[in-house]
Chain A
Amino acid sequence: MTEVAITGVGIVTSLGSDLETFSKNLQEGKVGYKTILLHEQLNFRSKIASYPDESQIDFQSYGITPQMLLSCDDVARFTLAAASQAVKQAGLSGSLAQDPDCGVLIGCGIGGGNEFLDLAFQLTNRRPSFTKEKKWKALNPKPRNMGSHRVDSTMASTCSANASVFFKNQGMGESLSSACSTGLGNIGYGYRMIKHGYQKRMICGGAETSCWNVAAGFDAMMVLSPTGSHSLSGKRNGFVVGSGAGVVVLEELQSALDRGAKPLAIIKGYYSGCCGSGDMVAPSRDGQIRCIKGTLADGHPGWENKFGKDWKPDIVKLHGTATPTGDAVEVKSVVECLGTQGYCLTAPKALFGHLLGAAGSVELISAIDMLNKGYVTPNIDCEPLDPDLEFVTHLIPRKIVKGDFKTVLCLSFGFGSTNAGMLIEKA
């Protein structure tokens, strides 16, 4: 059976828009979210968010021209920056990225939200003053005044479309969307495309623009925290919304080795499925257990754990959004499958918030980094621990743990009761 390696990673986050900075901040347990002036001005319940500093992204250094950026909302700009990093690290020369065996599969949860917002205000003459830096003919609204890039910058496939145009690849160019599991879902589908022989290389991941109108939607649901991302803690009161991108390069392992590429990790299992609970947002223990078992079986919860009945990964990277309901249900699902000994739990959203469509891919990259540098990301803000989780307090490191870790199980869940899991092994 074809083995699939991860040979390159790229990220854009509030904790850094290059792997080195991101890794350093993860290991130091730094927090990337902060107070957002616009959230204050607009009377948000939650005034904090985790947005990347776009001024730190040097698009020119990636060969991304101003002309290319014309068709990009933030979500595609972040995609191009992250994808460029990943392709560079993988050492994919132009022809390898461009041939028909290389596909692009990058999705987002929301789409080009900023551009949608501009469009709405343009057509209704209600563009708010805080975005007046762009020129608008607000007294004479007609479609052409919104410019010619509203479609390519807002369409559901904007991430893959812009990346495909940039890399000039001839393989597939598609975007899957599965809410907050989008990032991992696209990588999982890319893994299957290679495993089953449709493509040899895939540039895949997820991205998100959490512009204020998107954040407002979550704020209206009262699922955002006013105080911070307190994953696993008894004081947790919602998630911290964020934006960014995480993109990886996947390749047939042998093909990567043949061309001298250095694998960063090997994908050993992937599962995607729904809870079947009939609920849009509530977590389901049954669904999560199916997800964990399905991942360890590499595809179906009814199949056997491919590593042996009692095998378990060294680290479980939780979805861990810090919502009052979610974290406890998730940890109990993990314990149901893996027991109470022999692994660590980590919930990195405590550091960089919830990046929605980018969450699964950015967190997978954090897992790859943990394997390659030998650490477990600290659960920095879990005290006081949820009393319901005291029975597994020994599995939850408050400070960085160093060690030679071989495997990480990554979990990622989303609205629509969709669950995804991926198991990766140190290369």
Chain B
Amino acid sequence: MTHAPGWLAAVSLAAGLAAGFGYAPREAVQGNVQRIMYLHVPSVLTAYLAFGLVLLGSIGYLATRRPGWDRLAGAAGEIGVLFTGLTIVSGSIWGRPTWGTWWTWDARLTSTAMLFLIYVGYLLLRSVIDDPDARGRYAAVVGILGAVNIPIVHFSVKWWRALHQPSTILGPGPAPIDPAIEVVLFLNWVAFTLLFAYFLARRIEIARLEET
């Protein structure tokens, strides 16, 4: 039964991919390159979820000193870095044909790059401390401080003048997009969340095996 969640994630990813290329309409202004959104937006939402769990695990560890909380935080941090990296790369590839540049020091892009670097630092810190309790405590502090950057990333497009478009689906009011696009985006978000859950369970299992 350990492989069932993995297969569920794989099947839902395949369904999301098929919907993104077969069901979702061609966007009127950007054309087919807009289909990168079905990868880019679920990636960043998954990264938010991962770093939210780092925050939860960090607070849980500092409050209880139970190793399970630290395993959760460490595992979620690693997967969050993976999905933040995907967000940055897919956004850069999307930006080239739509903005005419791979990268710009826009508020959203810069704050996302900072988020990525903070959690890379978090993982490096975890890797250099041998004592489990000291590692858990120091990492928890960084995990809590790092989470401050999540709302900065999300609201950066409102707080500063940015090239990046404002939030489409997590903004106030109904999403200003075609319902078919919204459904496909939701399907891909569910698929990414299932994949994240599978990765998280496996990564926590690895941490547990490493400690025994």
Do chains A and B stick together as partners?
no
| Residues on B facing A (Cβ under 8 Å) | none
